[in-house]
Amino acid sequence: MGRGRKPKARKGYFYEKEEQAVIDYINCKDINKKNDIFNTILLPAFTKMIESIIRRYKLYVPDEEFDENFKDTISYLISKFALYKPVVYKYEEIEKLPEKTNAIMVDECEKKLFFKNANEKSPEYIIVTNEDNVKPYKLSVKNYKAFSYYQTICKNYLMAKGIQYVKEQKRNAPYDTVSEMYDNNIKYATEEDKGFILAEKLINKTAVEIQKMIDFPEKHNLNENEIKVGKALIELLNNWETHVITEDSNKLQKNKVLYFLREETLMSTKIVRENMKKYFKLYYSLKKEEIEDQ
* Cβ-contact 94, 135 below 8 angstroms: no
Same domain? For 104 and 236 the reply is no
Specify the pairing of strand 134-143 against strand 87-93. antiparallel
* Predicted local confidence at residue 292, as pLDDT: 65
Is the pLDDT at 250 greater than 80? The verdict is no
Q: Give pLDDT, residue 18.
A: 95
Give the span between the Cα atoms of 156 and 154, in whole angstroms: 6
Q: Judge whether 45 lies within some domain.
A: yes
User: Residue 3: inside a domain, yes or no?
Assistant: no
One domain for residues 23 and 123: no
Instruction: For residue range 43-63, list pLDDT tens digits in order.
Output: 999 999 999 888 888 888 888
Judged against a pLDDT cut of 80, whether residue 224 lies above it is answered with: yes
Asked if pLDDT for residue 77 goes beyond 50, the answer is yes
What sign results for the dihedral spanned by CA atoms 272, 276, 277, 283?
negative
Among 108, 142, 176, the domain boundary falls at: 142
Task: Say if 275 falls within a structural domain.
Answer: yes
Residues in the chain: 294
For residue 234, name the pLDDT band (cuts at 50, 70, 90): confident
pTM (two decimals): 0.57
Check whether residue 215 and residue 263 sit in a common domain.
yes
The phi-psi region of residue 221 (left if phi > 0; otherwise alpha if psi is between -120 and 50; otherwise beta) is left
**162 and 114, same structural domain?**
no
Residues 122 and 149 reside in one and the same domain? no
Residues 65 and 99 in one domain: no
More confident of the two residues 129 and 176: 129
From the centroid of its chain, how far is CA 138?
A: 23
Tell me the per-residue pLDDT of 177-190, one tens digit each, with 9 for 90 and over.
Answer: 545 544 444 444 44
Least confident of 46-55, 170-179, 227-236, 276-285: 170-179
Provide the pLDDT for residue 61: 84
